[in-house]
Amino acid sequence: MHTLTLYTAKYLVFIIILIAFAYWLTLPKKQKINLVIFGFFAALIALILAKVGAALYYDPRPFVTHHVTPIYPHGPDNGFPSDHTLLGSFVAVSVYYMNKKLGIGLFVLSALVGISRVAGHIHSPIDIIGSMVFAVIGGLLATLITPRAAKYLRRTVA
C-alpha cells in the first residue's frame, strides 16, 4: 500500500496530463485551439489564485507539525496549496470544458493525487481542497474568457 500511495502522490498527475494530451490529439483543429485557449486562461487564473492564496495563508506540512515521516523527502515549506493537485485539477477542468465525462474522470484522478498526498503526510486536506477550488474558479472564469479570446484570435489571424 505504501508503494501505491507513493506513486499516486508523485506520478499520477503525469498520467492525467498524458490522458488529456491524447484526448487533445483526437480533436478537430478548431476544438484543439479552443481547448488550448481555455487551458491557458484556466491555468493562468488558477496559478494566480494559488500564489495569492499561498501568500495569504500558511499551512505547515503535516510531517513538520505532527513529527511524522513523509512518504518521500520534501522541504518543510508552505503546503498550501498542493501544486500536484492544482495541476491535475486544472487539466481535468480544461478537459471538462470539451468532454464532461472524461473531465470528471480526470478530476477523480486529481482527487486521488490529493488524497495520496494527505495519506503520505505531505499535505493537509485544506491544501488539496484549496487547489481544487482554485482550479474550478480558474475554469469558470476561463469559460467566460475563451469565446471572446477565440473570436478575437480568429479575426486577427484571418
Average pLDDT per run of 10 along the chain, which is 158 residues long?
87 98 97 95 98 96 90 90 97 98 98 97 97 98 94 77
How many domains are contained in the chain? 1
In the DSSP assignment, the letter for residue 140 is H
CA distance 35 to 27: 9
pLDDT at 67: 84
Report d(CA 111, CA 129) in Å as an integer: 9
> Which 3 state secondary structure label does DSSP give 60?
strand
CB 142 within 8 A of CB 41: yes
The pLDDT of residue 158: 56
User: Which residues partner with 60 through β-bridges?
Assistant: 78
Q: Is the pTM of this model over 0.75?
A: yes
Note the maximum CA span of the chain: 60
- C-alpha torsion sign, points 151, 139, 60, 118: negative
Neighbours of 39 (CB within 10 A): 23
Q: What is the pLDDT of residue 157?
A: 66
Domain that holds residue 79: 2-157
